[in-house]
Structure 1
């Protein structure tokens, strides 16, 4: 980096050592530096893009910018750089112009002028939030807005895509339903059954069948499955098959889902072997077909 004088270099190196530096703190450490040298050095560093400035509780805080990051903001003037740095600090959440004004203490007209300049240089962009449709948020051009801002895959142009959500939810339910009960419906699964689907399996099914043209994550599918759980259509439980399982570990991948039988269409009696037994009418306590020697019960209770 090219420094014009020793004070300029010293101020930059001091900023680089900490998380922020005020001119008062620098003067305390180096009392020989004159006010004129300080002002010239700080302005030069800001112009070159070697430092950035933030305003905290009415006090200006200077931070050093590493060499590899200094090129982009090096051409900005003081007010433009202050606005740019404040927008950068908001990361992928973006910042509302009203909050930008309160953090920089700049006049609204100055902020608008700086924003026009930054947009013209393709350094920042304006986005809309699904939470606050009337607000215009600003963030760095190269960043992708967070899910909290865009609403994730369920929103299109800041509007909830109800048909898309309903289509995916129905597809999730149908897949879980096919994995919840034997195809021949001769009996329910035993307690040792471990093929109930997880969110990852449901996601794979959705993507393999190309039901969604939008890239989805396991968290997205989990949200849909949670809706089905709240609606009483499926139930969620831990598929614990390891006796040494430790509940202190991360168990997100252990959640599996099972469809709940429609109580209006089918009797709860079908959840036990007697409900689907083909010879139930001949079963008696002392007869050749009896509960004590029932193969269905033996298999069902074998855990």
Structure 2
């Protein structure tokens, strides 16, 4: 395309700013050092005619936005109907736009809308996407954009369906990692050198796991090829807290430790019952006739003649 020297200079200077930048008339005059507004109007009109800038309304003020040469060439190759439909799809951003909305905004016949959409899609200018909010609607957006989380549902959805298997596997991985850093002997084989009663760290231990540690573990071990954000990991940890599998460390933000209950439910202590050497050492604790700290479903059975001085912990804590 053939442009005047002033028009080309103005366009190049506008492209030096981010593509989302909107220019006022005063800013454009300053860029070209043009004191006469009428001279600017002539230059701006030349760029508008060549699809190199577009007019935008911001409140009551008219603004100008630069369009790259490649994008302008793309628009110039479209028919008027295609360009109109493309502009509405472009304006929808990462949210996309429903075909019914396109028809209402353009006031074009359904047949023309369908034909234009098919043509733009074949040229890879636009693409159709599925929305988790409106699974029956056909939604279009620019080909080079990624749909927003509101449209796709984030990493937890595959083909607009909640991927429960993926979520459950990540929950298991995160819990086991945090548990291994909360109770160092929890997943070790039985050994008489391990203190099976005291599996946790000392009370002054501060090396518990935070969100950055979990993110680093998932990334470095290539647990998933789906890109996860910190908020995604936080959401999974919150699910584990609600399931009583994790606890937030007191006085910290986003630092976690596994609950003892969850470690017991995962089977800690059972392997000790099967090892004769270890079993002998801890016979008094794991004898079937006595209460075992490894049986999370055990209950202390009250005797027929209850000692009046016995106060159970739950009763005492609610006094």
Relative to the length of structure 1, the TM-score reads: 0.61
Note the C-alpha offset of 1:181: 2.8
State the partner residue of 2:308: none
Contact 1:194 1:239 in 2 (8 A): no
State the partner residue of 1:118: 120
Note the C-alpha offset of 1:192: 3.1
Helix, strand or coil at the partner of 2:247: strand
Contact 2:22 2:63 in 1 (8 A): no
Contact 1:47 1:77 in 2 (8 A): no
Gaps of 5+ in 2: 15-20, 26-36, 186-194, 266-283, 285-319
Higher relative contact order (CA 8 A, sep 6+): 1
Contact 1:97 1:138 in 2 (8 A): yes
State the partner residue of 1:203: 215
Note the C-alpha offset of 1:205: 2.6
State the partner residue of 2:108: 107
Distance 1:98 1:20, change over 3 A: farther
State the partner residue of 1:262: 261
Higher deviation after alignment, 77-86 or 256-265: 256-265
- Alignment of structure 1 residues 62-211 onto 2, 5 Å: 63-68=64-69, 69-102=71-104, 104-109=105-110, 110-183=112-185, 184-185=195-196, 187=198, 188-211=200-223
Note the C-alpha offset of 1:202: 1.9
State the partner residue of 2:309: none
- Alignment of structure 1 residues 19-58 onto 2, 5 Å: 48-52=50-54
Distance 1:63 1:115, change over 3 A: farther
Helix, strand or coil at the partner of 1:129: coil
- Give the CA RMSD over aligned residues: 4.3
Helix, strand or coil at the partner of 1:126: strand
Q: Distance in 2 between matches of 1:264 and 1:144?
A: 40
Distance 1:67 1:151, change over 3 A: closer
Helix, strand or coil at the partner of 2:260: coil
Q: Does 1:234 align with 2:255?
A: no
Helix, strand or coil at the partner of 2:208: coil
Q: Distance in 2 between matches of 1:114 and 1:262?
A: 60
Distance 1:203 1:3, change over 3 A: closer
Higher deviation after alignment, 150-159 or 186-195: 186-195
User: Would you say how many aligned residue pairs link Structure 1 and Structure 2?
Assistant: 235
Q: Distance in 2 between matches of 1:259 and 1:206?
A: 17
Q: Distance in 2 between matches of 1:238 and 1:114?
A: 59
Q: Distance in 2 between matches of 1:54 and 1:219?
A: 35
Note the C-alpha offset of 1:92: 1.9
Gaps of 5+ in 1: 22-28, 241-253, 267-277, 279-303
Q: Distance in 1 between matches of 2:229 and 2:263?
A: 34
Contact 1:53 1:82 in 2 (8 A): no
Relative to the length of structure 2, the TM-score reads: 0.58
Note the C-alpha offset of 1:141: 0.9
Distance 1:238 1:92, change over 3 A: farther
